[in-house]
Amino acid sequence: MDEDGGMFMRKGYRLLPAGLILGICLCVLTLDVHATSRNEYLDSMNAGVAQIVDPTGKAANEDAIRELTEVSQANGAERETDLVMANVQVAMNVRAEADEESDKVGLLYKDCGGRILERKDGWTRLRSGDLVGWASDEYLLFGEDAELLANDVGNLIVQIETDTLCVREDPEAEAEAVGFIPRDEELEIIEVLDDDWISVDYEGETGYVSAEYVDIDFHIDEGETLVAIQKREEEERKAKLTANRGAVVVGGDDTRLLAALIYCEAGIETYNGKLAVGAVVMNRVRSAAYPNTISGVIFASGQFTPALNGKVARVYGGDIPESCWEAARAAINGETNVGDATHFRRAGNHDGLLIDRQVFW
C-alpha cells in the first residue's frame, strides 16, 4: 500500500491555453482554448486530453469530454486519454522507480492530476507540474473516471491579456462599465455566452468581458516534489520562529487574512454566506488533506482565485467591513453553518448546501 497521509500544501496547476480560435489539438503539451458557440475547447498541457467544456452544464461537460477523447485508430480501437488523477483521501507517494522500495520523489494529493508518460506492471510514470515519477495504479484513476473527476474538481478562469479590460454590466460594447481589470488578473468564469462575450464573477456580481482580450485557463491541482515540500516546511518553520519572538502576531494577522478572503468571496452575501466561507477555510485547516494554517490554505495554488490574482492582498491592506471580521472570528472560534464542508462555488453546477448564491459541499 503506497498511500501516504499528511498535511501538505497542494499546488494547483494550470492547463495553459493558446487562445480563442477554432480547432483543437490532441497529444500536445499546450492547451488550446477556443470560445465558440458556448463551448471551451481544452487541450491539457499536463493531461494531454482535448476537452470541450461548457461551464454551465456538468452533464454536457462530461459528454463533450468523452466525445473528444475517444479518438478512433485505424483498427477501430479507441485511443485512451493520457489524463491521470489521484484516487486517495489525503496523498500518495510518487517514486523514482516502479517499485515500492524505490526512493520517494514527491506526493500526489487528493484531487490532483497529471499526464501519463509510461505504464508497466501495475505502475504509472506521470508528470504533475514539476513532479515526475512512478505511482501505483492502485491509487490512480484513468480514462473516463479520471475525466469525470477532473471535470468536477477543476475550475475555469479568464486571464486578462490586455493592459486594462473593461467589465461591463451587459454583454454589449456600449454597456455601462462596472469595473476595470489590469493585465494578468484572473476572474472566475460563469458562462461562455458566444464567440464575443464571457460572463464572469466580478466582486460577487455577474459582469461581462470581451472574449477577444482574455485567455481561458483550466486549473487542476498538481503534485509536489520532495524538494518543494522541504523548502515549504523550512519556510513555515522559520515563520513560526519569527512569530514566537513576537515580530508577527499570528492570531491577529490570520483573522485579518480570513476576513479579507471572506470579503472577496462573499462580500455582498448575507452574514450566513460570509460565515460559510470562513467555515470552509477552517474545515480545511483542521483536515489532514490541507495545510494546517489559515495562510497555507488560502494561498495554496489553484484554490481561491482572489488569493491567486492579488485581490486578497489588496483587501488585506485596506478597510474590511465589520461583518467580515465578525464572520472570520466566529469561524476561527469553531462556528459553522456548513458542517465539515471543504468546498464551495457559485451555485448552478454542483450539488450541496445552498447558502445565498453559493453551494457548499
In a domain, 237, yes or no: no
pLDDT of the residue at 191: 86
Q: Is there a single domain that holds both residue 51 and residue 162?
A: yes
In a domain, 241, yes or no: no
Q: Is there a single domain that holds both residue 317 and residue 176?
A: no
In a domain, 310, yes or no: yes
In a domain, 164, yes or no: yes
Determine contact, residues 306/312, Cβ cutoff 8 Å.
yes
Q: Is there a single domain that holds both residue 161 and residue 309?
A: no
The neighbouring-strand residues paired with 112 are: 221
Number of domains in the chain: 2
pLDDT of the residue at 239: 63
pLDDT of the residue at 251: 58
How far is 18 from 31, CA to CA, in rounded Å? Answer: 6
pLDDT of the residue at 327: 95
Say which CATH number the domain at 285 has.
Answer: 1.10.10.2520
In a domain, 308, yes or no: yes
Q: Is there a single domain that holds both residue 207 and residue 263?
A: no
Tell me the three-class secondary structure of the chain, residue by residue. CCECCCCCCCEEEEECCCCCCCCCCCCCCCCCCCEECCEEEEECCCCCCEEEECCCCHHHHHHHHHHHHCEECCCCCEECCCEEEECCCCEEEEECCCCCCCCEEEEEECCEEEEEEEEECCEEEEEECCEEEEEEHHHEEEHHHHHHHHHHHCEEEEEECCCEEEEECCCCCCCCEEEEEECCCEEEEEEECCCCEEEEEECCEEEEEEHHHEEEEEEEEECEEHHHHHHHHHHHHHHHHHHHCCCCCHHHHHHHHHHHHHHHHHCCCCHHHHHHHHHHHHHHHHCCCCCCCHHHHHCCCCCCHHHHCCHHHHHHCCCCCHHHHHHHHHHHCCCCCCCCCCCEEECCCCCCEEECCEEEC
C-alpha to C-alpha distances, 156 to 17, 87, 281, nearest whole angstrom: 11, 22, 21
Residue 205's Cβ-side half-sphere holds a number of Cα atoms within 13 Å equal to 11
pLDDT of the residue at 24: 35
How far is 13 from 29, CA to CA, in rounded Å? Answer: 13
How far is 264 from 268, CA to CA, in rounded Å? Answer: 9
In a domain, 230, yes or no: no
In a domain, 149, yes or no: yes
List, for the chain, all residue ranges whose pLDDT scores fall below the cut of 70. Answer: 1-80, 238-252
Count Cβ atoms below 10 Å from residue 60 Cβ, excluding itself: 16
In a domain, 19, yes or no: yes
How far is 260 from 306, CA to CA, in rounded Å? Answer: 10
Q: Is there a single domain that holds both residue 283 and residue 160?
A: no
The neighbouring-strand residues paired with 13 are: 220
Q: Is there a single domain that holds both residue 160 and residue 306?
A: no
Q: Which grid coordinates are listed for 188? A: 472566475
C-alpha to C-alpha distances, 310 to 253, 292, 314, nearest whole angstrom: 17, 22, 6
Q: Is there a single domain that holds both residue 209 and residue 311?
A: no
Q: Is there a single domain that holds both residue 71 and residue 216?
A: yes
Domain limits at 203?
1-224
Determine contact, residues 183/163, Cβ cutoff 8 Å.
yes
C-alpha to C-alpha distances, 233 to 27, 101, 145, 357, nearest whole angstrom: 36, 25, 33, 37
Domain-ending residue, one of 224, 258, 285: 224
Q: Is there a single domain that holds both residue 147 and residue 3?
A: yes
Q: Is there a single domain that holds both residue 106 and residue 20?
A: yes
Q: Is there a single domain that holds both residue 215 and residue 117?
A: yes
pLDDT of the residue at 144: 93
Q: Is there a single domain that holds both residue 311 and residue 220?
A: no
How far is 240 from 256, CA to CA, in rounded Å? Answer: 18
Look up residue 349 and give its amino acid.
N
pLDDT of the residue at 240: 58
